[in-house]
Amino acid sequence: MATTIQVEDEWSSEELKKSQKKDSDLKLIRNWVKNGVRPTWQEVSRYGTTIKGYWAQWSSLCLRDGLLHRKWESPDGVSAVYQLVLPKARIHQVLEELHSSPSGGHFGVTRTLARHESTTYTPSMLTSGREMKLPTDLMLGRPLEETEERSLPEFVEDLRKRMDRIHRFAREKLKIHSDKMKQRLDTTSTETAFKPGDAVWLYAPKRTKGKSPKLQSNWEGPYTIIKKINDLVYRIQLSPRSKPKVVHLERLAKYTGHNPPDWFVVEDPPPRTEDSVIRDE
């Protein structure tokens, strides 16, 4: 059984289809899915984190009525939900509506005051060259060296130099952060991490009253890989009669012990035909 998350009334299917095609990232992903050919990691590594994220979810992406969807399966694999992949234009509209709502205003202020982990600067500093004035600043004032009078040309020149310095430093920090993310993804990303039939341990820490956490095992298993949903998500099962689970790759470790479970029989995939390829209308 499959269900589809409905498209909002103010955005029709045709409008969403056009918006997806205008989105540079989604346009590229749509072409890959339409052709049914997944590019290699070497081809994808030159793109940004958005493209890499969709690439990792390749097995969950599909085209339905010409719209790009992400498929979410239930743990037992009986039912599925198809989530519409929204273009950036629609995401920005939702964020604007959230920030303009009475309950969402504080969310935008909090994000403006918080320092970004990658750049180490607040959004206010990156956009205006200074921190926002808080109510306490208006009540108590600022230090004298920050309030000295300057002519307009001097103020503009100082602001320009400060903004250039901030943006140069932020770009350097972003490059370092991006390189670290790429290195971490390169070391953990693999197209054949696990395959159906492999025995794995599941990281599932538990706490039992009266026992020291240090003396308790955080791993369960061995489980058996039932299906690879995408590069990051797998369906596993402990025994033929146990309930299957859908878990992230980071919670799995290869089982190297003796007598691995052999109850699961790996079936050969059906031959690929032209009818099995989902094509855009």
pTM above 0.85, yes or no: no
pLDDT tens column, 216-248:
888 999 999 999 998 889 999 999 999 999 999
- What mean pLDDT do residues 188-206 have? 81
| Burial call 22-46: b when 16+ CB within 10 Å, e when fewer | ebebbebbbebbeeeeeeebeebee
Structural domains in the chain, CATH included, are 2-91 (no CATH), 112-188 (no CATH), 199-254 (2.30.30)
pLDDT tens column, 90-131:
665 555 554 555 544 444 555 555 767 667 777 777 777 777
Spatial CA neighbour of 197 closest among 246, 113, 108, 267: 267
Judge whether 99 and 92 are in contact, CB under 8 Å.
no
Please tell me which residue, 209 or 203, carries the higher pLDDT value: 203
